[in-house]
Structure 1
């Protein structure tokens, strides 16, 4: 096993339960570091959304991940948590959390279970590629000593390239490329975007939330995404930004990306126009917008940003602007600051059991595969699910049972 994150540890558990001797090789001083970081403010494990919209969160990879979510889905994940003594609860948004809320108790119970199952964990072991014979795996330890091992079966789950300080640095891409395995470039996902705010706007509103809005990417046909976004010194971040990440990257690749921010998604242009027509003669632009539409200072300032400091006097023009404030995006924040990464090992390189077609007996799982999803429990769910599928495929390869 290469990688001690959620996908790797789940695969290790499935294999060990079947009586396979498992050794997890992790390059960091301890396993589960990204899980702990993800759970710092509450470990969002999965989501209770209906199957259709749940699968849609995975975009182009939905069809590939659907059967894996059938093998190990949200209910299975909740049962697994309960079996560790960490029952779950559903938040008001439909997100699922462990009763303890944070990740530490769950990870501690999980590692205790793995120990009972006989799983060996070797830390500070960096996988550097295959041995000269093409079969063995080569590892470099903290003292710089190389060692080769030749397992009966291998499951890779080293992660993508986000939060590299926690272990997933994308170092596996080179060795896989040398074996002619196709890998799509790793790119930031669930990450903030860069916007060229004026200094006045950035000084005043850095760290201020834009609440109850919806976002869409101009020219993209997907539905707008609702939620709250946060103004940063250099741009925007938050759930709606993350959820439109793929469309943002596509627009940037095409040469231009403009976010359209709907500051009042529950009202139509006609309704907004009607309200704005009730302007009193003594109202300033800010008072007019605040009284008529209940816009807060940051929303009003965003309108001014889009118009070079001014707000149109015409009610219909202003209403249309409120429904689609143009925010030009100049780029995304770097992958080191991303919650997850897009790109990875191409689906065409693996079979239904996640075995590499070019390297029989080698299975892959987790974020190293070419899929992405927004935050909200979808990332962890797919990581766990692919870990289970890869482990069952490995068991079938070993003759320990079908890849079910």
Structure 2
């Protein structure tokens, strides 16, 4: 029960504090408004009082009531205070003039001969107040309009400068794309010659992709993964990582990179990339602690060939234009990477086939000269390769060279 009562009192105290916090700005605002009103009407009273003192001092010098300073007080009240303080000044001036300057003096009665003069004073005071207040309103409205115009011009100028900057940057990106990446035009002649074309080595193509990507979008890290036998292999990096390049392999759906490869969709994280539920640590790279992460699939004719990752050490918001640009690059370089990868695989297969032919010839010579079986010849090549720290191909080439020299001597 005590705990419940304590919780109730604590809740009441919290609610009281919250209400007081919410009411305080309102009280402050009301106090400021009241102070402004007091200043406006107080200035009207001050102007009329000053006019009265000055007029009483100067009145002995003039045969008729000296009322011109009251017009100045009315105009000043209308200018600094507005319409209502100006009307208040008119009222105060009227009462003051009638009491101190029109006969009988120090009385609120007035001679019939002074009525026209007094009425003219009242009308002129009202006119002066109205003109002054209207002039002030017009000037304030003009200043506000000028300020709004200046703000509008500044906003339009900033927008124009930003548009000009983006246009220049787009032109630079387009120039880079057209200079570095060959045009991927889909036509029958190109498709027929694709199988016979000589592709650039995969390493050189990936180096060009890295150079182009980092020149288009400045970043602190850039990785290029290539799809090989249902695995994503890290094949290129902006920052040197010999322990990871050509060794780090990801499965489809593994980490953010694997998710992008599996779904074929771009992922852009402006900050706290390591907090994303799809994120995984693989090789304890420094880039794993970077804030911003942009991952884009590389496609060739609708098929995934790899993934390119860009990272920023600090938080960085990737704009829609940057994402579209990198995605377009992914489509353009995807075909080049696929062609280079296939060419590298063909070269590797050709090298293996050539090595196998050399090994078969060497085994045949060993079977003929040493009277052993093919299995024994193969095991002998393996043993010699281990003992001499040479590849089996090098051992086989030495056997072929020795056999050729022997036959040359016999023929001589």
Larger relative helix fraction: 2
Q: TM-score range by the shorter chain?
A: under 0.3
The structure whose Rg is larger is 2
Larger relative strand fraction: 1
Higher relative contact order (CA 8 A, sep 6+): 1
TM-score, length-scaled by structure 1: 0.22
TM-score, length-scaled by structure 2: 0.22
